[in-house]
Structure 1
């Protein structure tokens, strides 16, 4: 696969000599990288080692809440390398495929700061998007424990007349209590009319989608923080308690195959833009979360590399979801992958 991107650079202080070029052959290679962001590229201020011959890569993350263009801009500034929007696969990126089905249907979008996910959904092609603040402003007693903020979207809604056809959790909820209540209001309603209660819960008539199932994720805080997967567990348990039936939902993000298929198509499309199409590439997936990054990569047939800079910090390999290799950081992971490629040519 021909070189597609500008040379990858490194600013690590931890491994001497990585500022020099890593020599690789310039022909016959068909491999790529899929890097997680949080806990891999960001934590520790480490970036991607420089290669004399650039290697295609995407950033595959269970993060989100902004557009791919915005995330590319953020990461480019933080790492001082050029990241293009088409290289970024966020947890909700595959959900753009749902826009065809729900283009003119009213969907409740959960998560993100302010109207960020509202704009993401509109950008994907969802034309009738509402957010929790819209319901709270329509009827403040829907969540009596806080005052509603000013209506964020421009629409004037009567949710007793206009049904919600689907719930889509794009990113982490900013107000768990309120958002749990309103999601359950919709799921337990009669055909999406907020405030109604259906009589028969044996058939779930409102679908719900989650952009990822991460129970925890890594921040600067010493211990991992609860993620969207924890929120999903809360929704599921409350729904079952209220209705007596298990909640049916659809999830995206790692470790789900739909997200890896989407990411691989992204890598292949970048390859086709270079004028070469060498079939399915060998992808080295670098991540810090065994239950998401490693489990998903292994299941999809990618080569998995677990790093100790985020969620996983233990000795050895993950006992539940073992990776093909374990490295201390992203620099070592890239060097290991390049060595595998070079060894295969000897």
Structure 2
């Protein structure tokens, strides 16, 4: 299994490169781009045509990227090289190094193929404290630590309707565990979009890319492009909310699954405190851009009324996130990723 979030850096080779031009030309870019993948750049294995046009605008005549770019995806139920191959029709990328986990934990990466079997195995591990060959005498309390790395209830592939995501698998697991034990399943951490920790990490990567390429102006604005209001938009807006207040607080700070700082009053849209550290950030804002080529479509929402705001739909977020309707409203709404790049250039006064 691959790690949930696949952070793909642009290669310094062939047609699309992130390196040389920045160092030589001293680009004045002061913004970075965060791209979701499924529903924004591809649908399953099929590239979205607008993605090719969008990335042509992000490179110069030598095919070198002029803007720091990081890919932020919750898709982790395939090998990282498979994900890179799926993107090869859009741009040239290389997979990142993975991180090894040294402690014994239950790490949930993505929805499996055989849900019944995997649900049974996970419950066996939890009830036996990691020894599924043993008999269950008492229910361990607390149970083994669980890291859930994908909260997407739905995601977009080739099918016309959105598919069940890992968030749906978690709903099943949580309800089965409570039905059997009478207790709530608890997470050590919820990682991946819309977790604020995920966007904080993407923020760090964007700024490091800018610094390594010798930008004259530091990256101070982020634009997060996604197709899912309940994850991509919710997460970007949540991170923007954190940015507006975080500079007043000491860092690193302990944060919630959704980003609440330890010791702070609970904020709507932010879940209970889990373990995690946030790095400091010099970013001024993180604006969300919603595209209509994936989970979200202007004319295919429930209820089926184009006049109904996305905030009036049913909340698809995780159990531990308290719904704040304002966080589902994007900063901008466009048809596709090509229009999104055009919009960012207008906002940044770029040709």
Q: Does 1:274 align with 2:213?
A: yes
Name the CA distance, whole Å, in 1 between partners of 2:79 and 2:197: 19
Matched, 1:298 2:282: no
- TM-score of the two chains, using structure 1 as the length reference: 0.66
Distance in 2 (alpha carbons) for counterparts of 1:72 and 1:270: 19
SS of 2:33's equivalent in the other structure is: strand
Provide the residue aligned with 1:50 in structure 2: 56
Aligned pair partner of 2:126 in 187, 197, 203 = 187
* 1:41 paired residue number: 41
In 1, the alpha carbon distance for the partners of 2:56 and 2:344 equals 13
* Equivalent runs, 1:51-70 vs 2, <5 Å: 51=57, 54-70=66-82
Q: 1:310 aligns with which of 294, 299, 302?
A: 294
Q: SS of the residue aligned with 1:63? A: coil
1:10-56, Cα deviation, whole Å (9 max, x unpaired): xxxxxxxxxxxxxxx98532111111111111133331242365222
The structure with the largest alpha-carbon Rg is 1
Work out the CA distance in 1 between the residues paired with 2:148 and 2:38. Answer: 19
Structure 2 match to 1:325: 332
2:79 is aligned with 1:75: no
Contact 1:168 1:208 in 2 (8 A): yes
Alpha-carbon distance in 2 for matches of 1:239, 1:331: 44
Question: What secondary structure sits across from 1:46 in the alignment?
Answer: helix
Alignment partner of 2:71: what SS? strand
Aligned pairs (5 A) from 1:86-125: 86=96, 96=99, 99=100, 102-103=101-102, 105=103
RMSD of equivalent CA atoms: 2.9
Q: Which residues of structure 2 form unaligned runs of 5+?
A: 1-9, 18-24, 61-65, 241-285, 299-305, 312-324
Q: 1:225 to 1:66 in 2, by over 3 A?
A: closer
Indicate conservation of the 8 Å contact 1:187/1:204, yes or no.
no
8 Å contact kept, 2:29–2:215: no
Residue 275 (structure 2) aligns with? none
2:290 counterpart SS class? strand
What TM-score do the two structures reach when normalised by structure 2?
A: 0.65
Contact 1:39 1:309 in 2 (8 A): yes
Gap regions ≥5 residues in structure 1? 10-24, 106-164
Q: How many residues align?
A: 252
- Using the TM superposition, give the Cα deviation of residue 252 of structure 1 relative to its aligned residue in structure 2, in angstroms: 1.1
Which residue number corresponds to residue 222 of structure 1?
160
**Mapped partners of 1:46, 1:265: distance in 2:** 28
Counterpart for residue 186 of structure 2: 248
> CA separation in 2, counterparts of 1:267 and 1:67?
24
